[in-house]
Structures are given as C-alpha cells and as structure tokens.
Structure 1
Amino acid sequence: MRVLLIHTGGTLGMAPQGDHASLAPGPSLDLILEQVPELRELADLKLVVAFNQDSSTNEPTDILRLATLVRAESADCEGVVIVHGTDTMAFTSAMLGFLLADLGKPVVLTGSQRPLAYVRSDARSNLVDAVTLATRGVAEVGICFGDQWLRGVAADKVSVHRYQAFASPNLPPLAELGLSIQIHPHAGAFPRRVPPGLGQTFASELSVYAPFPGMAWNLPPDGTRGLLIEAYGAGNLPMGRADLQALLVHCRDHHIPAVITSQCLWGGADLETYDLGRQALDLGALPGGHHTRWAALAKLGLALGAGLSPEDVLQAFRTPWAGEPL
C-alpha cells in the first residue's frame, strides 16, 4: 500500500539552533525517516516536502497550495500523512477538511510536542500511528495525536505540554489507538456538501472579537469582509451597549457576515436560548453553533474567497460541509 508523506515543518522535525538552543526547522524528510525506519515497513512511502517552517508562520495561501499538492501527488496513493506543527494544525485541518472532503482517502495530520531528535518524544509513536491510519481506507481528514484520531473540522489544540494535545469537544474521536486500533462507525460517514468553486482564494480580511466585560466594541477596519465574535456561553453578548449594537448594524448594512460562536470548548452558540442572543440575531448576526473557531474562520474565509453571497454564507453555517458539528 502506498502512502504520500508530506513534510511541512513543525516541532517534530526541529533541532536546537543557536547559542540558546532554541528550536527551529531542522532536518529534511529523508533524515526523519532515517530515525524512524519502521515507517517503511508499514507502507510504500512517497516523500514530498511542501515547505519546512514553523506552523505559526503559515499563511492561508500555504494551505491552499498544500491542498492542491495533496490532490496532485496522491493520485497513485491510498492515503496521505502530513507532518505539521501543532500551533496552527487545527486551522490547517479545518481548511483541508473542507477542501479535501471529496478526496476519497485518508488524510492524516500529525506532529509532536517534542522533537523526534529528543530521546523522550511523542514524535515516533505519532508518526507510526498516522501512517498506520493512512492505510486503513477511511475517507477522513483528521488529526492523529496521542491516542486519538480526530475529525479535522471539529478539532482544537487544548494543551501546550500534554502529549494528548488536541481534542474534539463536540464530536467523538474517529479512532482510538492503543494495543489495537478501534475505528468508530461515524468515521468517514458524513455527507459531502462543500459548495463548488472553493479553494482558489481565501478571504483573510476577517476580524475576531473575543469579548470581556467592559470591552469597547469598535467598528472593524476598512476592508473587513467578515467577523467572528466568540461570545460568552451559549451566545450571550452585552446587547445593552450602544457600540455593540452599532457594530452589528454596521455589519448588516455593509453586508459583512458577523458569525457568533462560543468561547466554550464544549457546547456551542444557540442565539435563541437567551434574549441577549435573540437580540443579536435580530440585528443580523449569524449563529455559528458548534463550529470551532478554526472551522468557523476556515468556512468564512473560503466562502467569502469564493464570492458566496450573504445568503449563501448564512446557509453555510446552517449546513455541515464536511461533518463539522452544527
């Protein structure tokens, strides 16, 4: 079985650099495979380096190119593994989850909390598990980390030091990896409803509001095309504030989608639960439901980049494109 192994950088392949031994992008993919030769026992590996950088420097254009690369290079492969840094892995997995929903084969993102070059590291086991999952034929885009495989459009990074660094709060794991690999029935079982025409451009002109008590609700910068508001609890906001009302009216009048999600990891925003949420809804806000911040931003940027109308953007947050919880 042939697996496409793509390297993009991240902690897994980093090495100490400079007088202070700070971690920086390190060895090539070939050198990584020299340290984990057993990967070749699991699959016939096709090696490609997309780029080699800290994931905190990734841009949406990098991810669009990565999606194009996966389609082009995986035609003769049964699965794909992408080595990626943890800092923006959830955003990349959300974008790829939408862009590659119709690929029809496993796309497994993985990385590590400690470099492969360290004696005590999670890199080796994550790589082995990711390549193993890529041979199982489950058509999903997901993150393999620790002992779980998580749907990419539902995942978030929840720890900077635990080996179980990612969680999927509103969707059970696709698979659990222990003495055996248990793939759950919902893995790969979701309708593909991604609109045509996505992926040529990404609208990065987005503003994110993370409320705190007393925050000033300033209008977004000129040129802003979309807003994400991470509200309290089930979607509550201080709707008595004139500046917040003015912000939502501005967005409505200028056809700028204002999507409301929750600051909470578990659960989501239901703007009909409380009167404050209903007031935001009446001023044109869009309910983001259970979308993670990364899934919401990926969906918003891809939809606007493809030129979808305001009504189409509203429908996008009412319809699961690739198995994301609503």
Structure 2
Amino acid sequence: MSLDTASVKPMERLSAELADDMERVNALIRARMVSEHAPRIPEITAHLVEAGGKRLRPMLTLATARMCGYRGEDHLLLAATVEFIHTATLLHDDVVDESDQRRGRPTANLLWDNKSSVLVGDYLFARSFKLMVETGSLRVLDILSSASATIAEGEVLQLTAAQNLATTEAIYTQVIRGKTAALFSAATEVGGVIAGADEAIVRDLHTYGDALGMAFQIVDDLLDYGGSTATIGKNVGDDFRERKLTLPVIKAVAKADDEERAFWRRVIEKGDQRDGDLEHALSLLDKHGAMAAARDDALAWAATAKAALEQVPQTALREMLEDLADYVVARIN
C-alpha cells in the first residue's frame, strides 16, 4: 500500500464521514481558546491549531463514540478536549526540544518566546479539564487526566533516556507509550465510555488506540531518518541532531562493534556532531538492518490495532479504523 493509493483513503473517508461533527468541534475549539484578558493566548493557539493538522486524535474520539451508537453531544466536548491536550503537549515539546519547525511552519516558541509557549500550553491544559468536566462523567475525567499525567511522565523519562546508550527497547516503548500512545488510547477509550459501550468493547478500543499510537510514533521515528520534510513537517534528521535515541538507533547500538559504539557515544551522548555524521549514522542503520527491524515492529503494532476491533460490530467506521492502522504504517513503504 502506498500513500498514492489506498493509504490516503482511510483519512479522507474518516474525515468526510465525520465532517459535520468535526466542524462543530473546530467551532468549539475556536470558542474555548479565546482569552478575555490575554490576547496572546488565542494568537499562539491559533498559530498551531490552524496549521493544517489532520485532527486525527479528536476524530478517533468521534469515530469510536459513533461506532458504538452514541447519539448525544458530549463526544464533541471530548474531541475538543483531546485536541487541546495534544496542542498543549506540542507547545511544551517544542520548548523542550528547542524546535524551530512544526507542521512545516515556524514554532510558537520561535515566533514568540519560550515563556509564552509554556504558559499558553498550561492554559490549554486547564481548558481541556474544563471541557472534560462538562460531560459530568467521572470515568472520562479519570481516563483523560491519567493520560495527561502519563504524557508528562513519558516526556520526563525521555529526558533521561534519550541520550543514554544504555536505553533499551523496553524503556523506549515506555517513553513512546507515554508521549504518544497514551493520548491515542484515551481518545478511543472515552468514545466507547461516553457511548455506554460494553466493557469488553471499551477495553478493545483502548487496545486499538494504544497499538495505533505505538505504530504511529515508531513510524515517525523511522521517517526522521528516511522521510521528507514535507511528509514529517520538520527537518529530516532532527532527531539525530537533537540526540534522541529512537528505536532505529537503539537497534543499531545493540549490534554495534566497539568502533561503532564509540561513534554513537560521541554523537548522541556527548553531542559532538560533525559534517558527514548523519550520513554515517544512516549507513550504520542500514548495515544492521535497524530500519527494517523497526518497520517490522510498527507493522506488528498495526496488526494488533486491527485485531483489537474484531469484536466491535462491523460498520463502515470500523472498516475505516482498520484501514487507518494500515495507513499509519504505509507512510514508510
């Protein structure tokens, strides 16, 4: 499956199917990101929110709620909540990573400053909690607040693990489950909860979101070494330059000889990077089959996501979510 054929269609089909709901969610986002006293808040938020993101996470909430037969309005609040949490984490991430590009545009911290980005991110977290409380569901509040804590925990763990050659695949999995998969699984789980779905279905929806998020992040990490700037919305090789020990590098380090390990120690742990180092890193990833092995991991997670939907009633939305798992990993084909 290539991006030019079936891989594009799940997102397009999902977006078309949910267009009315997403229009209402976007209106809700715009209304709730307004600040009466601090105009910089909507300025910064709009810069990121209106940057052309696919709104995948809120669409997952809308899709799972409707797939489970929900006919109310609270799924709109939850979809907006999920997008606010995601946007807040992006603002914080760009400050931590000292990034200068997001979704192909200059980051908020570059256009304004780090303090503004952090504080606006905090504001969006607060707004997200206001939205989730309005559903009146303590269980929804528990799921989304726990996900918010897990996201922060994953980011802190990454600070200590990302530049340490002793980092294992198990630690990497814990990091990306926090920074990415936690919000995916919360987004899909709350859709089932708000719809009053059977507990077994709610668990399956959580598993689907978790596995989809894991596949999504592994693919993102692969694309940093083999994608294009247009595809990933940032500069190719940014993870290398930021000394992030992602899955392909972890796999290559595990098979490295002494000379190769010394190279990785210099460029990742010590941050002593020179002309030609990225190209050498790519050659080592190729030598040890690290990219192919990481791709296999992403494919396995996508298969887990699809299998989790087997007990969900067969509908057009279920088919779209199954195809979405294929779409996520098709980006590396």
TM-score (norm 1): 0.28
Relative to total residues, which structure has the larger helix share, 1 or 2?
2
Greater strand share, structure number? 1
